[in-house]
Structure 1
Amino acid sequence: MPVYVATDITIPDAELHWRFSRSSGPGGQGVNTTDSRVELVFDLAGTRSLPEALRERALTRLADRLVDGSIVIAASEFRSQLRNRQAASERLGELLRKAIAAPPPKRRATKPTKGSQRRRLEGKRRRSQVKRLRRDTSD
């Protein structure tokens, strides 16, 4: 099952490596016999599915999650292996969508408005008055 990242970007099955193991959690006695835990490994550093610029952006943004240039996603929240495979591939798609997203536009610095400056100073005056009333005046 390929992973859909964007309308024009798809990661084929050939670039995904799946590992299966026994899962802890829900499943009753079947949890001891079924390999329902899924690990999805995707080699981000070596992929040819992403354009070069997007791959570099994703490598930079996901640097703390990478293990030797690969993303590892584990899924074991469902009882069936198929559902866990779907969850892992959806998670990988979402992670890559966020990683390759264009950066937000730069914020233009503006001056505080007169009203906000006035409100800030009034708040400071009020706070000062409260603290002044708390002082011990018995000299």
Structure 2
Amino acid sequence: MPLAISAGVEIADWQLQLTAIRSQGAGGQNVNKVNSAIHLRFDIKSSTLPDFYKQRLLALSDHRKTEDGVIIIKSQEHRTQEKNREEALKRLKELILDAVKIKKTRRATKPSRNAKKRRVDDKKRVGNNKALRKKVI
């Protein structure tokens, strides 16, 4: 079943390489015996994603992306292999959507005249309070 990214954009199963591996860390016999963790590999360059998606993903600076343009995601939070597979696919989808999202450019603004006046008034008020704490001569 293909992974739907957005309307009209999806990743076919043959483009995803899912491997079951043993989980790390504490967990007793279940962790030591069962291959419940999932290792997902997705090659950006050989995928059928649109060029815009590929360019944005290749330009991404993320520790999960190798120099060869392969995204590697390891999921081992859940006890079952199926839940870990779903989690890995969900993380891949979020990574792609986040990379493709066009962020608004920040426009520098200046404080209004009223805001400047309020700031100066607050400074004067604080200064007066401190002046009142001095010794009376």
The TM-score, its normalising length taken from structure 2, stands at 0.81
Amino acid at match of 2:61: A
Unaligned runs of 5+ in 2: none
Identify unmatched segments of 5+ residues in structure 1. Answer: none
Do the aligned partners of 1:27 and 1:79 also contact (CA within 8 Å) in 2? no
Question: RMSD over aligned Cα, in angstroms?
Answer: 2.5
Find 2:61's aligned residue among 31, 54, 63: 63
Q: Find the residue that maps to 1:35 and give its secondary structure.
A: coil
Q: Is contact 1:9–1:49 with CA below 8 Å preserved after alignment?
A: no
The residue number in structure 2 matching 1:89 is 89
Are the equivalent residues in 2 in contact too, given 1:75–1:87 (CA < 8 A)? yes
Higher mean alpha-carbon deviation, 84-93 vs 50-59, is at 50-59
What is the distance in 2 between the residues matched to 1:59 and 1:132?
A: 60
Question: Does structure 2 retain, via aligned residues, the 8 Å contact 1:38–1:84?
Answer: yes
Give the aligned partner of residue 30 of structure 1.
Answer: 30
Instruction: Spell out, residue by residue over 1:32-85, the C-alpha distance to the aligned partner (whole angstroms, 9 max, x if none).
Output: 2210011111112x133221122112221x223321311111111111111100
Identity of aligned residues (%): 37
In structure 2, the residue matched to 1:53 is 52
Distance 1:133 1:98, change over 3 A: same
Following superposition, which runs of at least 4 residues in structure 1 exceed 6 angstroms of deviation?
A: none
Cα pair 1:40 1:88 within 8 Å, conserved: yes
Q: Provide the C-alpha distance between the structure 2 equivalents of 1:56 and 1:92, rounded to a whole number of angstroms.
A: 16
Aligned to 2:124: 125
Question: 1:20 is matched with which residue?
Answer: 20
1-side partners of 2:116 and 2:122: how far apart? 10
Secondary structure at the aligned position of 1:48 is classed as coil
Q: Is residue 41–residue 72 contact of structure 1 (8 Å, CA) maintained in 2?
A: yes
TM-score (norm: length of structure 1): 0.80
Give the SS at the match of 1:85: helix
